[in-house]
Amino acid sequence: MGMSGPAPQSDAFEALAMPLFDQLYNFAHWLTQNREEAEDLVQETYTKALKGFSSFQLGTNFRAWMYRILRNTFLTSRSGLAATSTVPLDTEVDGPVLAVENQTPEAILMQLSSSQLLQDAISALPVHFREILLLCEVEEMSYQEIAETLSIPMGTVMSRLARARKTLRDRLRPQFQEG
Amino acid sequence: MVCDSWKAKLDTYLDGELPEQELRAFDAHVRGCAPCAADALARVQIKRAIQVAGKRFTPSAEFRKKVRQSVAPTPQRRLRPGWIFTSALALVFVAAALTLTYWATESGRDQLIRNQVYSEIADLHVDSLASSSPVDVVSADRHTVKPWFQGKIPFAFDLPELQNTGFTLLGGRMAYLDQAPGAHLIYDVRKHHISVFVFQERLLPAGLGENSFLPMSLAFRMETWSQNGLRYFVIGDTGVSEIESLAKLFKGN
Ligand SMILES: [Zn+2]
């Protein structure tokens, strides 16, 4: 009939995408560090994803697809460009980082009694470290999913994650142990 | 130190990403090595702390509502400001048509098709009500309107003589019902508009019914029938008698 009614795809999109809303917002807020910008980013992500949903391949990872749209939208935004321009990743190499730390992480645990301190430390991480750490620890994505989301090889996922963790641990180390 | 090679893989181990083979070897080592076990425990606690700290920001209820509305399926109707009311009327019509199907005894599929056609007709009628220029050919003279359609639609039909009937012909426009081209005529009766649609029966879905009169108690009343290979719809928000009268004039041709 000429009367087409609601697009069936739109139904499916809403059913798939809305359950991710809280997580995507949290992730967006961590990236932008600002409520208004986070809302703009999430809204733009949903609008873009809905528009591109017909090209989404069923059977591929929908969550990774949504995060990828959000992240790419962020990286091309003004604050995204500003956040990445200060921390070039050109020194990044694939493969595991032999992060031999002299101290056990037990010393760090002392710092974790304050959630605020940990949150501040995560906020202060370079954006590429922050996002990979959040995808791994908060979203509990597999390395494969992270690789899809960030469009990087598995080896890079592992090395970047190791560097992100090491950076965070270093920053959480009690002041008197530094230097 | 032998433990250094293990420690480099400790995070991967805790992320559950070590290959099966390595995983077993690792388990065995950690079980027998106190420093590695302590390190593993501390890292698990850090992981957990990051997970808790990382779930930090919550979207507002208004924002959630806004995004949900922006992705919710919306009817693909051509809504312009001011059309909302008339479209609402069309929806009432559709609801009434759907209610009717529960009374009838025909197959559900036929009823569904029929209701789709009826709601499309209601839409076309609503479009003309809402339009600032409802007709493409403005004329009260059937001898002007009839030839206007020649060459535009692939069939001919007759328009009734209206003298002393209370009906006035306002004009006509092209109409499409499921890709089928047809004629849309608009009549006035006591300041009410009634639409008459004419299509080729063979281009429309089967089972639309003969002389089926729909007693719409709500927004619109409609009568439809098939005659000489043409399908007619008469629809308007007037009383039953006006719809019947105009239908009778067309049938009398
Ligand atoms: Zn060991």
- The residues that bridge with B167 in the sheet, in sequence order, are B189
CA B168 distance to own-chain centroid:
33
CA of B34 to the centre of ligand 1 (A): 7
Question: Radius of gyration (Cα) for chain B, nearest Å?
Answer: 34
CA of A92 to the centre of ligand 1 (A): 28
Cα gap B58→B38, rounded to integer Å: 34
Domains along chain A with CATH numbers: 1-86 (1.10.1740.10), 97-179 (1.10.10.10)
CA B116 distance to own-chain centroid:
10
Tell me what the mean pLDDT of segment B90-102 comes to: 54
CA distance A161 to chain B (A): 9
> How many CB contacts within 8 angstroms connect chain A with chain B?
139
- Fold assignment, B4-54+108-251: Phosphorylase Kinase; domain 1 (3.30.200)
Out of A91-100, A107-116, B125-134, B193-202, give the one with best mean pLDDT.
B193-202
pLDDT at residue A40 in the model: 96
SS3 A149: helix
Q: What angle do CA B67, B72, B78 make, to 5 degrees?
A: 115
* A102, A130, A137, best to mutate vs chain B, most B CBs in 10 Å: A137
CA of B40 to the centre of ligand 1 (A): 10
Question: Radius of gyration (Cα) for chain A, nearest Å?
Answer: 19
Tens digit of each residue's pLDDT (9 = 90 or more) over B213-251: 554 434 578 888 988 889 999 998 777 788 889 999 998
Percent of chain B with pLDDT over 70: 78
How far apart, in Å, are the Cα atoms of A37 and each of A86, B5, B59? 20, 43, 12
Domain extent listing, chain B: 4-54+108-251
| Confidence category of residue A31, pLDDT binned at 50, 70, 90 | very high
Strands (E), B4-123: none
Cα gap A158→A96, rounded to integer Å: 6
| Confidence category of residue B26, pLDDT binned at 50, 70, 90 | confident
B196 within 8 A of B187, measured Cβ to Cβ: yes
Structure-token match 């949504």, residue found: A66
Cα gap A84→B194, rounded to integer Å: 64
Across chain B, how many H-helices and E-strands are there? 9, 7
Phi and psi, residue A86, nearest 5°:
-85, -15
CA B97 distance to own-chain centroid:
15
How far apart, in Å, are the Cα atoms of B136 and each of A105, B170, B171, B192, B199? 81, 10, 7, 19, 18
Name residues whose C-beta falls within 8 Å of residue B14's C-beta, 6 or more positions apart in sequence. B40, B43, B44, B47
Tell me what the mean pLDDT of segment B181-187 comes to: 92
Is the confidence at residue A98, as pLDDT, over 50? no
User: Of the candidates A80, A89, A67, which has an alpha carbon nearest to the alpha carbon of residue A150?
Assistant: A67
Asked if A133 lies within 8 A of B50 by C-beta distance, the reply is: yes
User: Of the candidates B12, B11, B44, B6, which has an alpha carbon nearest to the alpha carbon of residue B26?
Assistant: B6
Contact of B42 with chain A, judged by CB distance below 8 Å, is answered with yes
ipTM of the complex: 0.83
Name which residue leads in pLDDT, B130 or A79. A79
Tell me what the mean pLDDT of segment A104-112 comes to: 62
Tens digit of each residue's pLDDT (9 = 90 or more) over B161-177: 888 888 999 889 988 88
- Within 79-138 of B, beta carbons closer than 8 Å to A belong to 113, 116-117, 119-120, 123
pLDDT at residue B84 in the model: 52
Q: Nearest 10 degrees: CA dihedral of A120, A121, A124, A129? A: -130
Tens digit of each residue's pLDDT (9 = 90 or more) over A117-171: 889 999 999 999 999 999 999 999 999 999 999 999 999 999 999 999 999 988 8
Q: What pTM was computed for the model?
A: 0.54
